[in-house]
Amino acid sequence: MFLLMMVLDDTGRLNDVLQAWEEAGVPGVTILESTGLARALARNHAYEAEATPADSSAPGRIGHQTLFAVVDDIDVAARVADRVQAILGDLNNPNTGILFLVPVLAAWGLARST
């Protein structure tokens, strides 16, 4: 078993990326809104410079989507990588995202069909 994770930079491409994961054989994906260090610091700096006491507690949404799923087979992850890069381009390019795979030693609560 493996944990497949992706931080998607262009959140407007989320539906395309989710479809690619599904077509590659990933049965379910969890999605979280997330923000990286550089964007969080830049956003906070901008708000400190412009904020008034009334609006200082309402930062704007600037960020990513983080996707993750447990997959049984490394080949599924390779198919996801191929399909995602067909949509976004080379993930080694800036402002695309990152995709990685880590081993899962044990998992509970995963429904598996036979």
pTM for this predicted structure: 0.78
The secondary element (H helix, E strand) that includes residue 5 is strand 2-8
Structure confidence by residue, pLDDT tens digits, 3-20? 999 999 999 999 999 999
Please give the residue that has the higher pLDDT: either 100 or 44: 100
Task: Please report the pLDDT score of residue 114 as a whole number.
Answer: 46
CATH classification number, 2-34+63-103, choose in 3.30.70.120, 3.50.50.60, 3.30.930.10, 3.40.30.10:
3.30.70.120
Per-residue pLDDT tens over the stretch 31-84 = 999 887 776 777 666 655 665 544 434 444 568 999 999 999 999 999 999 999
Q: How confident is the model at residue 104 (pLDDT cuts 50, 70, 90)?
A: very high
Q: Is 104 helix (H, G, I), strand (E, B) or coil?
A: coil
The size of the chain, in residues, is 114
Quick check: helix, strand or coil at residue 57?
coil
Mention every residue, 6+ apart, whose C-beta is less than 8 A from residue 85.
91
112 pLDDT higher than 80? no
Domain range list for the chain? 2-34+63-103
